[in-house]
Amino acid sequence: MVAIDGPAGAGKSTIARLLAQRLGSDWEFLDTGALFRGVTLACLEAGVDLDDEAAVLALAKRLRVEFRRGKLLINKRDRSDDIRRPDVTENVRRIADMAGVRELIARWEREMARGRNVVVEGRDMTSVVFADAEFKFYLDATVEERARRRLKDLQKQGINATFQQVLEAVVRRDTADTTRKHAPLKRVPDAVYIDSTNLTPQQVVEKMLSVIRGAR
């Protein structure tokens, strides 16, 4: 088990995918963010009030969610592309802030990871969901660099935004992630800290591999 935490825009998903590939064919990347997006998508399609935690949790408990060959299946249907819709992206934070939903998805994540070699990333992987992970990392970067990365992603999607707008959004996200009551983002003492501001994804992966191989 390799668990990676860090703020938005630090490059966690990219690094986790690359690291799983470098570790070998018997390793997998578990996209935990896709699970929150899956619940959000299901709620939007069912017309569930996203401010009603009880209703959201009730629907989530009825879902059958699984990963198969890198695809997210919800009730046996591939929804890998649908969970990236703009309306899902816009609302997923509302779902992720619900304590009951986080606890349910944490159980899903533990069940999916059981008996497998996995790399996971998120904001409470090292502190809550996989607190006993063999290897823990906290991936960070300056807020300006994270905003630049986010802006670049938006531009690739054809979405217009200014650097200042994105920077302010990243700051708001950081505040929400670090101050929420349930499972806030934090750096645990036994996580290896990596600042990716001036590093390529490949350089970050090499640093992680060095830690992992050095412990074996």
Q: Where are the domains of the chain?
A: 2-196
The span from the CA of 142 to the CA of 214, in Å, is 28
CATH of 2-196 given 3.40.50.300, 3.10.20.30, 1.10.10.60, 3.40.50.720:
3.40.50.300
Please state the pTM of the whole predicted model. 0.90
The span from the CA of 124 to the CA of 63, in Å, is 23
Supply 47's token pair.
């017309």
The span from the CA of 76 to the CA of 5, in Å, is 29
The span from the CA of 13 to the CA of 18, in Å, is 9
The span from the CA of 109 to the CA of 3, in Å, is 12
CB 4 within 8 Å of CB 125: yes
- Stretch (H or E) spanning 5: strand 2-5
pLDDT in tens, the chain (216 residues): 999 999 989 999 999 999 999 999 999 999 998 999 999 999 999 999 999 999 999 999 999 999 988 899 999 999 999 998 889 988 998 998 899 999 999 999 999 999 999 999 999 999 999 999 999 999 999 999 999 998 998 888 788 889 999 999 999 989 988 998 888 999 999 999 999 999 999 999 999 999 999 876
The span from the CA of 27 to the CA of 105, in Å, is 21
